[in-house]
A and B are shown apart, each in its own frame.
Chain A
Amino acid sequence: MNRTYAQINEKIAAGKAVVLTADEVIDYVDRNGLEKAAKEVDVVTTATFGPMCSSGCFLNFGHAAPKIRITEAWVSDVRVYCGIAAVDVYLGATELRHNDPANMYYPGEFRYGGGHVIEELVAGKRLQLFALSYGTDDYPNRELRTMFDIHDLNQAIMTNPRNCYQNYNVAVNLSERRIHTYLGTLEPRARNMTYCSAGQLSPLLNDPFYETIGVGTSVWLAGARGLVYSEGTQHCSAVERGDNGVPVEGAGTLALTADMKQMKPAFVRGCSLRGYGVSLALGVGIPIPILNPDILRRTTVRDRDILACCIDYAADYPQKTGKVLARYSYEQLRSGEVQLNGKKVPVSAMSSYHRALEVAELLKAEIRDGKFLLSEPSRRLPANQSMKGLQVKEE
């Protein structure tokens, strides 16, 4: 039983598509058998919600009179990148607010930065632009200060070079002092542990070999219709995988883009990671077309069949030793407690399964209502691609 994208889209357009979330499909296939389910199910929706530091947006302000080129600028005191065309800027999620003391008074609080500006933009708040420039004959103005909101902009295009990590590390701290990381605060002597993945609901864990998610795939990015524009940075498909093909470490990533004017504020949230910095948490939903039974089988992956590597973030992670302390399934991690070296360790997450479920349900509803059609990738994500470290060279 095989289907094409065109056949699935016809059913969606007619309001007749059978759509399940990656959470629901597991029991559905158990009850009905793979072959029967593959005949019935057209689309499985996957989702994730968590901090994705490699996010940001291009903004175009349009021109005031007299015109300014803009060579340096700040939005709500957060610096934006201006080394592109006149009145275009790029606002990055991890950029700190001007004069933020960072970790000068350790651990820094990082109350506000790029991620928060992006959250406020999407929420329609009024923000301040301060821009400087050298004057030119065609762009004579050298300084500009104005209030604006997202509706005043010509474009606000979220452009994220690295989102949706296929899998991720589990962090623990074996040292004698409390440490602060992008996976939260880790208490000494392994008193807590943090993971960050939607597990059985996560997009690339449901399509481990990138058979349907590729360049050109339509995605639900914080409520807006977006797309995968490239493999993500640090995409590394050549990693150790379990018998089910699911990687046991980071592996694949996606570069995503969408129009911020169409986004829902609940799924675009700035975050402050004490002692580490600011970031942006995003909700992403990706539909998987059930083109054949194999693709359906891979969407039935369960938390207990997905393993993640536990790493000491006090020593092995920063020193890049590659040492893995233990491997846990997401079922073990979600139980709230695992064993490490014979000791019980409480576990929590940085990624919200609750919000991810909400995204998967919203995307399911849009597809069922005929509002979200699938797109066939124009190019597959690289298979067997490894990742280089940086060689520090004298000359």
Chain B
Amino acid sequence: MATKKAYLHFPADQTSNPFVCELVRDFHLVVNIFRAVVTPGKDGYLSLELKGAQDDIDRGFAYLREQGVEIHSGDTGLMWRKDECTHCTNCTVHCPTGALHITDRATREVAFDESLCIECLACIANCPFGVCRQMF
């Protein structure tokens, strides 16, 4: 069993295709959708986590690519810009999974563990310095 995070960008002419259904039915993957923007006739975005056999994940990704879907593999749709962070720690209580956390109690440095991020976007609403950005 493997787990893979990715966010997908699909072109406007592909937004009507039921990709998630196909990933589940044809590739036996468990799909956990974090966020999606799917509007008919416009470019679409989907941020998700896939669970399944590595081989099935690879075949699923290959299928999506054939359909013209752009895969940002291993990424979440959220960007934490380390250089912009002032390490005030304000975000740490608003982040429900501890993705944003204090990594060193003595120096109070903040770090971001992308694997824990569920893209609730609470950090975007709460960061006074606009450090977190969403990709879509």
Contacts and interface: CB of A to CB of B under 8 A. Distances in A.
Nearest to B108: A353
Contacts of A354: 86-87, 107-110
Interface residues of A, number: 29
Contacts of B86: 49, 269, 281, 352, 354-355
A205 B92 CA distance: 26
B93 A272 contact: no
A353 to B, nearest CB: 4
Given A50-B88, A350-B90, A354-B109, 6 more contacts: A51-B128, A348-B88, A348-B89, A348-B90, A348-B93, A354-B87
Interface of A: 49-51, 111, 184-185, 192, 194, 269-274, 279, 281, 334, 336, 346-355, 357
Interface in B67-104: 86-94, 102
Contacts of A350: 88, 90, 128
Contacts of A194: 90
B107 A348 contact: no
B126 interface: yes
Given A192-B94, A336-B102, A352 B125 contact: no
Contacts of A185: 94, 125-126
- Tell me if A's interface is mostly helix, strand, loop or mixed: strand
Contacts of A274: 125-126
A246 to B, nearest CB: 21
A274 B109 CA distance: 23
Contact of A192 (B87, B93, B102, B129): B93
Interface in B108-123: 108-110
B107 A281 contact: no
B40 interface: no
Contact of A281 (B89, B91, B129): B129
16 contacts: A50-B88, A184-B128, A192-B94, A271-B129, A279-B128, A281-B88, A281-B129, A336-B92, A347-B93, A348-B90, A350-B90, A352-B89, A353-B108, A354-B86, A354-B87, A355-B88
A184 B89 CA distance: 11
Contacts of A192: 93-94
B136 to A, nearest CB: 18
A194 B94 CA distance: 11
A274 B127 CA distance: 9
B94 A349 contact: no
A352 B94 contact: no
Given A49-B86, A184-B128, A272-B130, A357 B107 contact: yes
Given A185-B94, A192-B94, A352 B88 contact: yes
Contacts of B90: 184, 194, 348-350
B89 to A, nearest CB: 5
B131 to A, nearest CB: 10
Nearest to A23: B106
B88 A346 contact: no
B80 to A, nearest CB: 15
A346 B128 contact: no
Contacts of B89: 348-349, 352
A50 B128 CA distance: 11
Interface in B12-42: none
A196 B130 CA distance: 19
B128 A271 contact: yes
A271 B130 CA distance: 8
B126 A351 contact: no
Contacts of B105: 334
